[in-house]
């Protein structure tokens, strides 16, 4: 299974084997590039992953791809690449939530213990792409990922308000979530104190997190694999160009993970 995601400033590629006894991650490629060169370099990175594993494209059984939400251009490029590859090979695609992959990338989680992650991507315009996930499994590869809230594009403070009852129940059980992702940077002041203390600024999913989320999305008996024609992008909102609005975005948050 070849996995790719380009919906965040950090793009990643993972390649591994899935078999009856479990799964094995063979090649991992994570690069914080601001998603600026995704369209130019993604196909080269996919080829490099195949070469590193010593296999040809025809040896692939499945392609998993981040469907967003996230950057419009990066997500479209990744989805188009995955669909084109799957169609040419006659294999299915596994749609993967980029937010789920981000949650599964959190280094605060103990692979052997259940945990909860509020995954946050910077959506600009004073908003985040966010959702709360519960994760757990006996090994890093055998991770169940359950969405505890819908994926939203929203102001972070409003998202926290919407999650108030769920967060209160988790706190009561001694299971305060971790907070993870690039959305922790520009809007950190909107987090409650206990969540702010558990927040980790990160540029996006890692190859390992994408692999875990892809396995969870694939599911038992590969039920999560779909025909490439049924695979599309999850935007959550239209871009200004699509709405016919010529309005500048806020000054981009200068991430410590991207030069320039």
pLDDT tens across 59-118, in order?
Answer: 999 999 999 999 998 999 999 999 999 999 999 999 999 999 999 999 988 766 789 999
pLDDT tens across 169-221, in order?
Answer: 999 999 999 999 999 999 999 999 999 999 999 999 999 999 999 999 999 88
Find out whether the peptide bond into 197 is cis, omega within 30 degrees of 0.
no
Q: Of 169, 157, 156, whose CA–CA distance to 130 is shortest?
A: 156
DSSP for the chain, please give it: -EEEE-SSSEEEEEEEEEETTEEEEEEEEEEE-TTTTHHHHHHHHHHHHHHHHT--GGG---EEEE--SS-HHHHHHHHHHHHHHHHHHT--EEEE-HHHHHHHT-TTS-TTS-EEEEEEEEEETTEEEEEEEEEE-SSSSS-EEEESS--EEE-HHHHHHHTHHHHHHHHHTT-PPEEESGGGTTTGGGS-HHHHTTEE--SS--HHHHHHHHHHHH-GGGTT-B-GGG-----SS--HHHHT---PPPPPP--TTS--
CB 170 within 8 A of CB 183: no
- 188-192's contacts with Cβ under 8 Å and 24+ in sequence apart are 190/155, 190/156, 190/157, 190/160, 191/156, 191/160, 192/160
33-42, 195-204, 231-240: segment of lowest average pLDDT: 33-42
Domains, the chain, in order of start with CATH, read: 2-98+206-243 (3.30.420.40), 100-200 (3.30.420)
What would the two tokens of residue 16 be? 């591994």
The predicted pLDDT at position 112 comes to 65
Cβ within 8 Å of residue 246, ≥6 positions away: 240
pLDDT above 90 coverage of the chain, percent: 76
């Amino acid at each position: 299974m070849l996995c790719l995601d380009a919906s965040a400033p950090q793009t990643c590629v993972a390649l591994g084997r899935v078999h009856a006894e479990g799964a094995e991650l063979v090649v991992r490629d994570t690069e914080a590039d601001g998603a600026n060169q995704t369209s130019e370099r993604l196909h080269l990175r996919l080829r490099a992953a195949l070469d590193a594993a010593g296999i040809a494209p025809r040896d692939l059984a499945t392609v998993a791809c981040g469907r967003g939400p996230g950057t419009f251009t990066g997500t479209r490029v990744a989805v188009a690449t995955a669909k084109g590859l799957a169609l040419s090979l006659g294999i299915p695609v596994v749609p993967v939530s980029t937010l789920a992959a981000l949650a599964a990338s959190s280094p605060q989680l103990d692979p052997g213990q259940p945990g909860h992650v509020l995954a946050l991507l910077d959506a600009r315009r004073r908003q985040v792409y966010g959702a709360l996930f519960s994760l757990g499994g006996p090994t890093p590869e055998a991770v169940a990922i359950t969405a505890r809230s819908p994926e939203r594009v929203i102001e972070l403070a409003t998202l926290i308000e919407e999650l108030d009852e769920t967060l209160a129940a988790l706190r009561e059980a001694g299971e305060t979530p971790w907070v993870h992702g690039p959305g922790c940077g520009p809007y950190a002041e909107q987090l409650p104190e206990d969540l702010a203390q558990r927040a980790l600024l990160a540029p996006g999913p890692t190859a390992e997190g994408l692999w875990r989320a892809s396995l969870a999305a694939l599911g038992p008996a590969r039920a999560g694999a779909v025909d490439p024609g049924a695979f599309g992008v999850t935007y959550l909102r239209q871009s200004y160009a699509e709405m016919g609005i010529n309005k500048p975005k806020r000054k981009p948050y200068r991430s410590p993970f991207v030069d320039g």
